[in-house]
Structure 1
Amino acid sequence: MAYPAPDAARATAAEGWIWGFALLENYRTLYAQAIDADDPRYVGGFGRFRHYPQPFTPANTDIVTPNNDTPYSWGWLDLRAEPWVVSVPALGDRYYVLPFHDLDTVYAGLVGSRTTGPGSGDHLIAGPDWNGETPDGISSVVRCATQLVGTLGRTYLAGPDDVGTLKAIQEQYSLRPLSQYTGAEAPAPAPEPAWPIWRDTCVDSIEFFTVLDFLLAYFPVRDDVRDLRERLAALGVDGTGTFEPGALPDQLRDAIEHGITDGRDQLEEAKGHTSKSVGLFGTREQLGTDFLSRAVGVDKGIYGLPAEEAWYGGWTVDSEGNRPPDAARHDYTIHFPADALPPARFFWSATMYALPSRLLAANPIDRYSIGDRTPALHYADDGSLTLHVQKEQPEDPAQAANWLPAPDGPFSVIIRMYGPGPAVLDGSWTLPPLTVQS
């Protein structure tokens, strides 16, 4: 086989690593939840939900920057043999979303309060090769670009007393093969793949392309990445699952390894300049070919929602330029003027994460987020709102009501707005500073 010159191979490996980063990080979760039955995160395989009605605590480590507002419903689908149908009950004014993502974490479509409405419905999830007739009774169709897809569903939780009601709602979400939905004869099952064992080290080693080569078998080539896919195929990463780094000439293997380092360096640099979620998560039409921004989104918070569904912003630096903010050194406030409260159709919250883990920060009152649904939140007489971000509980009762506990060290705060208003999406509403108080 005639391989590209080392410089060209290195450039392709860097670009391929950035593009493929989302696929491998997605496979990390897929493997634990749908393949490895010994993993505590295992959901039971493909075609079923695993629900988490309880709010997250620091003990939950399945996912970084976990969302504590809307407990999760995890599910994975193998669309090779036939489509699947997801059915949902009527939820009234309770917010929910079941977003279906392709192997590269790009959203194929969303079922939920904002997109399909609050009523009950049956929604078809179809793979790239399906050309059948949509049966009667189907409310919407989600067309996927890959044959393996996942969903990280969210359903609003009003607080600890609401867990029982939320659990009953989640149990009404169902997944059925299309043949079962219509009563037709089931097609022959797709063959069981030889799933690569997941190892965390593969992301930054040449084994990255071994796993990517396997995953590409479930990702038909699209025009937007045809050139890159052809150049990866020239390195042996062609979707046949036969890429073998040990068989490569030493010079080519070295070039690929240097390309991986180049790709990682590009990602690290881009992360340092990103503080908002716009452009990081979305559909294929929204994200286009900005694979670096998509990789940033995956690294900062994989499975983040499109901006029009949920807007994410955060504070990576404080008012004095300290990066990251550090509650061992300072107390902070976040002040929202009355005419600049977070404009959200459904609700908003700000969640505290300890660094570098990006997990919830333990605290004596078990408060991990604060927002417009927090009981007894104190607004000033003029309607403004000031949040107090510090490690010790404020003595003043009004400040204590608005206390977001911080760890004794570096942290980040992420604000989420569900159903963000136009001012958020067009950039005319901006985050206030994280102001150092002491």
Structure 2
Amino acid sequence: MVQGYPGQTNTLYRGEGLATADDRNLVRPNVDTIYSCIFYDLAKSDLEFTIPEISDRCWCFPFYDLYGDNFGNIGSLQAWKAGKYLLTLTDDDFSVSSENIPGQYQGCVKSPTPYGLALIRILANDREADMAHVIELQKKISFKPVKRLANTNIPSLDLRIFPKILNDQNISKAESVFQLLAALAHYNPPEVLNDRVWVADMLKHAGISNGHFRKPKDTDMEAAAEAATTSSINIRRLAGMTDNLGNDWTKTAAHILGGYGSYYNGRHIAAIRGYLALTIDQAFYPVYTAGNPTVAYEYKIGPQEAYLVTFSSKPKLIPTGFWSVTAYGGDGYLIPNQLNRCVLGDRANLQYPDGCAVYSGNDKNKSRKDQSFQVLLQPSDIPPPKKWLSNWLPAPAGGGSFSFSLRFYGATESLANGEWEYPVIQKMEVIRQ
């Protein structure tokens, strides 16, 4: 992601539309929101940011440290308002607050590290007029440095460090991660205060000291990286790390999703599947676990095979929430197809078996009926019959590895506790015209 970022800290870069199969800047993007991104640097100043009035849709300003911890969110799901906010560096109480802050601000985001990023999301649909509206909203978002009373001796963040290290052909991928960590760790300690001493000691034993990495003698970096990944995968097998939702669906427990605390293995496994996950109060991502999927929850689909996903009813959401299911190729990017369709959900033209619309009007929890409907995951080179076209989500042409993500933004409790019946998935032969 960083390598696709244009260049300067404290500068907001605005997306120009929904993600497409041509995009390669972000692995496993959603196709529901238009992104804006800023890498912030609080070494020399705070940042004041302005949120415009966004009253008719879901929006979220999530803030992360460089390790991917989502330490604070401002958005519609928690009824935050338009106005000015402050992003500041602090020594503790890393959160978002509306109390004991300067009067001109609606709230204050307290960052645990001087460097971090925000990946802003505003809901859109694929209609040209709606995307144009969201792009206009983005133009009204602003960030500007403001003076902070306390000075620091922290150097400014130079984003060129990322491509310089990650593109170095003389070192392995595993070693490049340690080189990058060495360059950043001193000024970007763990969010958990009690972890800072032992984490620093562990990094020293791993070869990181004074901003540099020196590989320990006789260490196989690739084997060490593989062992770390295996350890992270196994955390999901421990009691309390996943919640069973029924029909072979699970969700990651709240304490290892988005905000990870001391569960560094949990953060690792989230990064493998998709960097910059949100905390569960914003969104969660149920996982279908049948069929022995890989760590990235990839599935195999033959050239003549399909997956039929049967929903018992519409997912129940709070008023500005939304849901979607998105398909990805084995490389984690969106799948090219003749419909240019990579997602289906509550803004799509889904149909019941009798041809009636699943969704009508603006109320996503109500329509003239609520009953079972289906989504067809089928290779993009085998179009299904006409009656299936609205509910067809293309998989890779010719079959192969792929994955899919079910997303809930603004989920009601029934989705989180398993009260709602999760979809039944059946692997079968393709449906032909």
**TM-score, normalised by the number of residues in structure 2:** 0.78
CA distance in structure 2 between the partners assigned to 1:151 and 1:379 by the alignment: 41
1:125 aligns with 2:113: no
CA distance in structure 1 between the partners assigned to 2:92 and 2:185 by the alignment: 18
Out of 382, 388, 393, which is 2:383 matched to?
393
Out of 120, 131, 138, which is 1:170 matched to?
138
CA distance in structure 1 between the partners assigned to 2:292 and 2:268 by the alignment: 28
CA separation of 1:87 and 1:116: change in aligned 2, threshold 3 A: farther
How far has the Cα of 1:236 moved from its partner?
Answer: 4.4
Structure 2: 5+ residue runs without aligned partners?
Answer: 94-99, 243-249, 355-368
How far has the Cα of 1:159 moved from its partner?
Answer: 2.1
Counterpart of 2:227 in structure 1 is 262
The amino acid of 2:213's aligned partner reads F
CA distance in structure 1 between the partners assigned to 2:371 and 2:205 by the alignment: 62
Out of 102, 109, 122, which is 1:135 matched to?
102
Structure 1: 5+ residue runs without aligned partners?
Answer: 1-28, 33-40
Q: Aligned residues, how many?
A: 382
Question: Is 1:318–1:435's contact at 8 Å kept on the other side of the alignment?
Answer: no
Range with bigger deviation, 385-394 or 308-317: 308-317
| Structure in which a larger fraction of residues adopt helix | 1
Counterpart of 1:384 in structure 2 is 372
1:57 aligns with 2:20: yes
How far has the Cα of 1:168 moved from its partner?
Answer: 0.3
The amino acid of 2:257's aligned partner reads F
CA separation of 1:387 and 1:236: change in aligned 2, threshold 3 A: closer
How far has the Cα of 1:266 moved from its partner?
Answer: 2.3
CA separation of 1:192 and 1:310: change in aligned 2, threshold 3 A: closer
CA distance in structure 2 between the partners assigned to 1:212 and 1:328 by the alignment: 42
Question: Is 1:277–1:297's contact at 8 Å kept on the other side of the alignment?
Answer: no
Q: Deviations over 1:352-376 (max 9, x none)?
A: 1111x01111111111110111035
Out of 366, 370, 373, which is 2:347 matched to?
373
Out of 143, 157, 160, which is 2:124 matched to?
157
Question: Is 2:68–2:277's contact at 8 Å kept on the other side of the alignment?
Answer: no
1:350 aligns with 2:325: yes
Q: Equivalent residue of 1:334, what SS? A: strand
Counterpart of 2:363 in structure 1 is none
Map 1:284-299 onto structure 2 (within 5 A). Answer: 287-299=260-272
CA separation of 1:189 and 1:89: change in aligned 2, threshold 3 A: farther
Counterpart of 1:21 in structure 2 is none
Q: Equivalent residue of 1:92, what SS? A: coil
CA distance in structure 2 between the partners assigned to 1:323 and 1:103 by the alignment: 26
How far has the Cα of 1:207 moved from its partner?
Answer: 4.2
Question: Is 2:229–2:268's contact at 8 Å kept on the other side of the alignment?
Answer: no
Out of 389, 400, 406, which is 2:395 matched to?
406
1:331 aligns with 2:306: yes
How far has the Cα of 1:44 moved from its partner?
Answer: 3.6
How far has the Cα of 1:379 moved from its partner?
Answer: 5.9
Q: Equivalent residue of 1:66, what SS? A: coil
CA distance in structure 1 between the partners assigned to 2:271 and 2:292 by the alignment: 27
Q: Deviations over 1:90-114 (max 9, x none)?
A: 1012111010001221112111111
CA separation of 1:199 and 1:272: change in aligned 2, threshold 3 A: farther
Question: Is 2:115–2:157's contact at 8 Å kept on the other side of the alignment?
Answer: no
The amino acid of 2:377's aligned partner reads V
| Structure in which a larger fraction of residues adopt strand | 2
CA separation of 1:379 and 1:53: change in aligned 2, threshold 3 A: farther
Q: Equivalent residue of 2:106, what SS? A: strand
Q: How many percent identity over aligned positions?
A: 24
Counterpart of 1:229 in structure 2 is 200
CA distance in structure 2 between the partners assigned to 1:97 and 1:176 by the alignment: 19
CA distance in structure 2 between the partners assigned to 1:320 and 1:80 by the alignment: 43
Counterpart of 2:247 in structure 1 is none
CA separation of 1:333 and 1:236: change in aligned 2, threshold 3 A: closer
The amino acid of 2:113's aligned partner reads T
The amino acid of 1:219's aligned partner reads N
Counterpart of 1:312 in structure 2 is 285
Question: Is 1:69–1:157's contact at 8 Å kept on the other side of the alignment?
Answer: yes
Q: Equivalent residue of 1:205, what SS? A: helix
Counterpart of 2:413 in structure 1 is 422
CA distance in structure 2 between the partners assigned to 1:358 and 1:135 by the alignment: 43
Q: Equivalent residue of 1:212, what SS? A: helix
Question: Is 1:343–1:417's contact at 8 Å kept on the other side of the alignment?
Answer: no
How far has the Cα of 1:129 moved from its partner?
Answer: 5.0
How far has the Cα of 1:436 moved from its partner?
Answer: 1.8
The amino acid of 1:420's aligned partner reads A
